[in-house]
Chain A
Amino acid sequence: MAKTLVVAEVQKGALRESTLELVTLARKLGGELASVVIGSGVGGVAEDLAKRGGGKVLVADDGSLANYNLDGWTRAIAKAIEAEKPELILISNTPIGWDVAGALAAKLDCGIASDVIRIEPDGGELVFVRRMFNAKFDARLRVSGAPRIATVQPGANEPYSGSESGQVSKLDGVGGDGRTKFVEIRVAPAGGHDLTKAEIIVSGGRGLQKPENFEAVLKPLVEALGAQMGASRPVVDAGWLPHEYQVGSSGQIVSPKLYVAVGISGAIQHLVGMKNSNFIIAINKDADAPIFEVADVGIVGDLFEVVPALVAAVKTAKG
């Protein structure tokens, strides 16, 4: 790999950890490393990246870049590409990354692999490995031509932890008006259903088939175990339970002593929210469901038969 450009991300005034995960990938591939830090007053973040990631760090610093906006970011990254002529551009697959990366690829008319978890050199080429079909399958993609872009799933690689001495320089000609206008960030009011402190969580998914079954089938297990009830995204999207029940990247991130997943297949967005639980038991009729990959214990079967049996056994055990 001749040169990789890492698009850094600034979060709450500091370098986002996922940026250092991109550095890990870039350093594994070898070759030169450049990065671009975009924001307003982000000189300190760039210095930080130079020490922790190394290489050449370009700073796109302008008042108009205080908040993410499509045009400002597209222009800044395009400038960095023009200056550095990288063969590979790495962007974290975050709400900023997925907003800007596809548009950038279309503007450059170049190939892009999104939400990648690994990059493997193969001869002179690169193979990009990612999930597909909501994590049911893995895929190997070949992307021809240069430059090419990869957006990388946050958390899929270890953050780079070396000590480096990179060089920071200013990227000129950035900023200016954009067509999309940032208004504000709204943080949803905290719901009354805080799962982050629960010792035991029993979560239900689409496998429960209809909202009434959360009351009729899942709740007896929740109550028998003295647990709190959680849910997967499709359940909340369908309006079966309020958003405050949702466990996942866009809901609550939980780590109880015991997490019981009932009728949840295990889409990435759910796994992100519960995989750090101390102990995971999954109940699903599909033995190939991705949830069994993160679970400690699995029960393959019809939840409408299994769950009542569990309730009875737990009640008997409690005496």
Chain B
Amino acid sequence: MKILVCLKQVPHKDARLELAPDGKWIADANIKFEINDYDNYALEEALRAKDKDAATEVVVVTVGPDRVQQSLRTALGMGADRAVQVWEDGLAGADSLAIAKTIAAVAKTEKCDLVLMGLMSDDTNYSLTGPMLAALLGVPHATGIVSAKLDGGQVEVERELEGGALEVVKLPLPCLLTAQTGMNEVRYASLKGIMQAKKKPLDKKSLADLGLSAGALAPKVKIEKIYTPPKGAGAEILSGSKDEVAQKFVGKVKELGLL
């Protein structure tokens, strides 16, 4: 069995995000990056399939500039077998469909039984690439899964709905699944894993390598501007020393008749 895991590198959860001068993205030159949290769960699910059956091959793919190689090495350190990076400058500003088309070209050459990725990314929060990729590959998909049971040529998954309800769906392989956070317990790369990762293959491909061109992937969706949301009335901020603030807190709770 061969599993393709699509990863995205996003700003670190604790990175202090500032807007870029052109107002079209964040200033990302000097911040830390990490693997998108949702994608970690997808990768873990693939590695668990490999734990059960050593013959399973796990290939990780991402679209991004050279800084993403660090995240790919992390994935290799966790246990993935190979990594593919696709990048050229023409992909800057690519929309979800362009990214999906790019990954589809990789997936077609890899001929996978299963494609796994996160439900959404923590930067744009679009949650579009997965279903788009599935449609481009002509395979069925299920989004936001919290469990997956592989059984021969099919997989039974639980999709998370609203209010804690779950929808159970069966899909034939090949198919694509997007992971909800919390679906499993994500492993850390071991020291041994990190050492081995240095020797694992990491292929960098251009669009031409995949028979694509930046022109053919021109974005239909453009970010005109991102900005800090206009402050509403907002909260009344309590000021003073921590003891003064605590007294004001007590005052508020008393006003509510709860103390």
Contacts and interface: CB of A to CB of B under 8 A. Distances in A.
User: Dominant SS at the A interface?
Assistant: mixed
B151 interface: no
Given A133-B17, A180-B169, A299-B245, A102 B221 contact: no
A225 B249 CA distance: 12
Interface in B238-259: 238, 242-243, 245-247, 249-250, 252-254, 256, 258-259
B199 interface: no
Number of contact residues on B: which range applies?
Answer: 35 or more
A243 B144 contact: no
Given A70-B141, A100-B131, A293-B231, A183 B168 contact: yes
Given A114-B127, A297-B252, A183 B100 contact: no
Contacts of B131: 98-103, 106
A8 B171 CA distance: 25
Nearest to B158: A186
Nearest to A184: B168
Nearest to B230: A138
B77 interface: no
B167 interface: yes
B51 interface: no
B165 interface: yes
User: Dominant SS at the B interface?
Assistant: mixed
B94 interface: no
A140 B15 CA distance: 23
Contact of B221 (A107, A134, A142, A279): A142
A278 B220 CA distance: 43
Interface string A265-292: 0000000000000111110000110101
Contacts of A171: none
A95 B217 CA distance: 28
Given A102-B135, A137-B226, A258-B253, A111 B129 contact: no
A103 B235 contact: no
B92 interface: no
Interface string A188-201: 10000000000110
Given A137-B17, A237-B181, A313-B247, 8 more contacts: A95-B160, A103-B131, A132-B123, A179-B140, A185-B168, A278-B256, A298-B238, A316-B250
Interface of A: 68-71, 94-95, 98-107, 109-115, 127, 130-145, 148, 178-188, 199-200, 206, 225, 233-234, 236-239, 243, 249-253, 257-258, 278-282, 287-288, 290, 292-293, 295-301, 305-306, 309-310, 312-314, 316-318
Q: 5 tightest CB-CB pairs across the interface, nearest first?
A: A102-B131, A111-B220, A237-B182, A298-B235, A313-B246
6 contacts: A70-B140, A70-B141, A102-B135, A132-B125, A187-B166, A253-B163
